[in-house]
Amino acid sequence: GEKPYQCTNCGRAFPVHGSLINHMKTHTGEKPYTCNQCDKTFSGIKNLKCHLRTHTGEKPYHCTQCEKSFSQKSQLINHFRTHTGEKPYQCSHCDNFFSNYSGLISHERTHTGEKPYKCHHCEKSFAQTSSLKSHIRTHTGEKPYLCTQCGMSFSRVNHLKNHLRTHTGEKPYQCSHCGMNFSQNGALKRHLITHTGEKPYLCSLCGKAFYRKSHLEHHQRIHTRKTTNQCKQLDSDQSANGDDLFHLNAHQGENILRQPLI
């Protein structure tokens, strides 16, 4: 259908003016609707109603293909496409297709570089609301994701998922070269480098490459120690015989500069 009302911030279009007004609040940060159960605030009345179901547990939208139920109609629609394989949203910059509109919008920002969601604690901006929410917790210290096994809490849901595998022993990430299994995707990526020989971490001072970031950091400390020792030696030489003044700045990758004394 026709969507004549377009957001000037992100380009999203709406069929009615009221929907645009509610959407604009996601950019301004205005949240006039408050939950009477937990004091959380929302930009639109529909968002509040959906949130209230997290307290009541109500999931009125049922999938006809499986037994899953959802608290929001949009969640059901997106889920149903996992059965049909439908991906109706195409990226205007490349050939990627997406099953939901929000996935398309998030992807397109990888092309445009747009970061419309701004942190009100600092100057950082983000392409997705989920990234902004996770970042804000670095300011507030909030850790809402609780492990039911040991009581540890986490600021991000993926951190909780990774932690839970220490209890279950689950290792879902398998190496295609040797069949080894890992509990975290990052561990698999580090392991794969032992097969490919890739060394993505490059020293900016000497060009030496490493396959682990920790190895690069250890190597760079050697440069720091050498620079400190050279500076001490130069100071000693200067006081002894008044030679030319040298300036070392290995931290910034500069060459040794020869500066004659005047």
In the numeric block, the tokens 């070269």 are attached to: 177
Query: What integer pLDDT is reported at residue 115 of this predicted model?
Result: 93
**Phi-psi bin for 146: left (phi > 0), alpha (psi -120 to 50), beta?**
beta
**CB contact at 8 A, 225 and 237:** no
In the numeric block, the tokens 């050279």 are attached to: 230
Q: Kindly tell me if the per-residue pLDDT of 244 is higher than 60.
A: no
Q: Which long-range contacts (CB under 8 A, 24 or more apart) does 105-110 make?
A: 105/10, 105/12
CA nearest 120: which of 132, 128, 134?
132
Measure the CA–CA gap between 186 and 172, rounded to whole angstroms: 12
Strand 33-34 with 41-42, pairing? antiparallel
Provide the pLDDT confidence category of residue 251 given band limits of 50, 70 and 90: very low
| C-alpha torsion angle, residues 42, 45, 50, 52 (rounded to 10) | 80
In the numeric block, the tokens 């130069």 are attached to: 234
Per-residue tokens: 100: 């939901």
Strand partners, 89: 98
Neighbours of 117 (CB within 10 A): 20
Q: Kindly tell me if the per-residue pLDDT of 254 is higher than 50.
A: no
Q: Kindly tell me if the per-residue pLDDT of 1 is higher than 80.
A: no
Q: Distance of CA 228 to CAs 225, 250, 251, Å?
A: 5, 9, 11
**CB contact at 8 A, 213 and 195:** no
Q: Cα-flanking dihedrals φ and ψ of residue 63, to 5°?
A: -80, 130
Q: For residue range 201-242, list pLDDT tens digits in order.
A: 899 889 899 888 888 888 888 887 766 666 665 555 554 444
Exposure string of 127-155, with b = 16+ CB inside 10 Å and e = fewer, is beeebbebbbeeeeeeeebeeeeeeeebb
pLDDT averaged over every residue in the chain = 84
Q: For residue range 30-68, list pLDDT tens digits in order.
A: 888 899 988 889 888 888 988 899 889 899 999 999 999
Measure the CA–CA gap between 95 and 35, rounded to whole angstroms: 41
Q: Cα-flanking dihedrals φ and ψ of residue 155, to 5°?
A: -85, -20
